[in-house]
Chains A and B, each alone.
Chain A
């Protein structure tokens, strides 16, 4: 991976002062934009001591926000896993026309602003939305309720698993599956015994990124949530409310939980890349 030039090849090395300058610029940039914000989260959270920090975390509204965030992720992530596996199976193991169009459509949520992702559901299901009158007649509440949060989160995290699995399964080809089928295995057996073991690390990688985004999403859920404390407030939204109430210690305390989640995600992701890099599409592409 590291293609650095050995010492003998002086011709392809920069002068020492240039190298020092590049490293200073790069590390300084990362320090300012990554380490400082991270340090700020934990410092602000612990400003009034560990007691105040823990108190902010066990407060009922904070606990409700944690529960709701977990609930949304528990629904949205598995649905996107099923979709991701199905999409990868159809796209990587079969030939059909319109494949590149389908791939473009799957990527669509990545190029849409999170606010627009929330907006589309309000336009569809909101009180003045296309289906608003119908939903009101039948007493179904989607926007400003949990279903809206789940839908918006699914939209945002839609491509994560599929994007990881499609290139991986394309690279693995179809020979092993064809052999299993020829030997009399059913489609389901082939998937469980042959495909799944081949893609398990890639799947875990996709789930990891999908989950991090699902729990941390702000813009899209902010539009559909209605910000009802203790009811439709996920953790990131709760951070915003506390911050706007100038309750900085509590805001940063909840934010620190999300920062820990991000750090755990990064560590797990790096471990996967180091240990199982060859079995991931992501490291093959280094994306």
Chain B
């Protein structure tokens, strides 16, 4: 890869004899600018109507803070659930042989393919007090639908493939000789897993966790049906953007949007640093 030296150098001669560079790069940059960059710039410009103090007022409203806390908290919880069970699924798919394995492997991607609104109403019907799952939880005093717990359930569904699909290839490439060596040196299977296998797959596990988290924070379609959307309790940040937009509070909507982007970015930065640190620590 060549050094990144900014846009001004884009047109520097490239010595390839393959034609079409100007045309294809032109199409790429035009499409990118029109569809992605200009609209995102509009998002960044909008809150200047109300100034920095206006922006801070908008995002420190108790209702906005509650929504941001809910969105990030539930996404974190769902990503954690996915880290544990996703690792189990990836381990099963790589290490064990069983009947129907290919189908199980394929169906892991369903949350990528199923429209979020469909997932939302399906999960709501399952976890409603009279639903297939909800009717067994109701006597135990556990309410899932129309509570923050329902949000976690929806985000767990949405984030399910991320951990599996990032850990799976790393597990596949893992050399079993290391495990044999560990076993020969007297390590128990659990010790081998903790000391030999886990350090190698941990960076991938973190990546999957981060992807599931990022997706969960912004998720809308699958959540709004099951959440019940009670202000201050089960109202997610993306929904608050929609509500502010419906009230024609454009600056407010853009402010919440920017706050979400900043928080997501900061979170991913922390995870990235953590990942680098664990990589160095594991010597991978």
A interface with B by C-beta (< 8 Å): 1-5, 9, 11-15, 18-19, 22-23, 25-27, 29-30, 32-38, 40-41, 44, 79, 82-83, 85-87, 89-91, 93-102, 105-106, 108-109, 111-116, 119-124, 126, 128-130, 151, 154-155, 158, 174, 177-178, 181-182, 186-187, 190-191, 209, 212, 215-219, 222-223, 235-237, 239-240, 243, 248, 251-252, 255, 258-259, 262-263, 265-267, 269-270, 274, 285-287
Contact of A97 among B10, B19, B113, B168 (CB under 8 A): B10
Query: Residue of B at shortest CB range from A11?
Result: B183
B9, A124: Cβ atoms under 8 Å?
no
Contact with A along B1-31 (1 / 0, CB 8 A): 1111111011010111111110111011001
B 115-126 to A, binary, CB cutoff 8 A, 1 in contact else 0: 111110111011
- Evaluate contact between B98 and A240: CB separation under 8 angstroms: no
Select one of A29, A97, A212, A270 contacting B4, CB under 8 A. A97
Count the A-B residue pairs with Cβ separation under 8 angstroms: how many? Answer: 337
Q: Which of the residues B27, B28, B45, B242 comes within 8 Å of A223, measured between beta carbons?
A: B242
A89 to B14, CA, bound (A): 14
Quick check: B248 and A30 within 8 Å, CB to CB? no
Q: In the bound complex, do residue A4 and residue B220 qualify as a contact, i.e. CB atoms below 8 Å apart?
A: no
Q: What is the CA–CA distance of A95 and B31 in the complex, to the nearest angstrom?
A: 20
The interface size bin for chain B is 35 or more
Minimum distance in angstroms from B197 CB to a CB of chain A: 10
> Is A37 in contact with B119, judged by CB distance below 8 angstroms?
yes
Closest to B214 in A: A111
With an 8 A cutoff between CB atoms, is B257 at the interface? yes
Closest B residue by C-beta to A14: B189
Q: Cβ of A239: which chain B residues have Cβ within 8 Å of it? A: 117-118, 121
Contact of A285 among B94, B106, B169 (CB under 8 A): B169
Neighbour of A116 across the interface among B20, B107, B169, B261, CB < 8 A: B261
Given A116-B241, A266-B109, A270-B106, A218 contacting B115 (CB threshold 8 A): yes
Determine how close the nearest CB of chain B comes to the CB of A194; give it in whole angstroms. 10
